[in-house]
Amino acid sequence: MRFDITDVPMPVRVGLVILVGLVLQLSLVGRAQLFGVAGDVMVVIAVAAGFHAGPDRGAVIGFATGLAVDLTLVTPLGLTALVFAGVGYASGLFAANLIRAVPLAVVALAAVAAPTAVVVWVLVGVVFGQNHLLNAPLIPILGVTSLVAALTAPLVSPALRWATADPMARVRR
């Protein structure tokens, strides 16, 4: 009997991608700064999840990704999870109306969704009493976030396509 990695249950594959993404975020991406601002690869996981798995699974994967990020932050637990769930859901809705065969579709979606997620994160944070988030240099953060999302989307997207693949789809064809 031959082992095929797609035989591993989807939640385990998605969890592995989230874990690897979090390690890369904390060890590399979060330390590399441009204009004093670090990018965020984790939001790209939520975007790619919605793109490849649809709005419902994108929301669930986005929530799990955001919760993993929340465990590393001092903001209220669940703030990032809430925003990333919305990002995954919205990305899934937008992807349903995009031409998925265009290779740059996920890059463009990530480049727009990532800075939008930052704005929503700040606004939701302010609603929950995190007024200090308004003191951040938002313009450089939005620019760097968009750039990092566009650069990392071609790497993250195949990982999420693999993680969310339905092994039964091969049998049904």
- pLDDT tens string 94-122: 888 776 667 788 999 999 999 999 999 99
User: Which tens digit of pLDDT belongs to each residue from 126-144?
Assistant: 999 999 999 989 999 999 9
Instruction: Read off the pTM.
Output: 0.90
Give rounded-to-5 percent helix, strand, coil for the chain.
75, 0, 25
The helix/strand count (H/E) of the chain reads as: 6, 2
Which residue in 61, 69, 106 sits closest to 85, CA to CA?
61
Spell out the residues 6+ positions from residue 8 whose beta carbon is closer than 8 angstroms to its own: none
Fold annotation for 9-157? Arp2/3 complex 21 kDa subunit ARPC3 (1.10.1760)
Q: Both tokens of residue 52?
A: 């490849």
Residues 85 and 123: beta-carbon distance below 8 Å: no
Least confident span in 81-85, 120-124, 158-162, 165-169: 165-169
Q: Where along the chain do its domains lie? A: 9-157
The pLDDT of residue 173 = 40
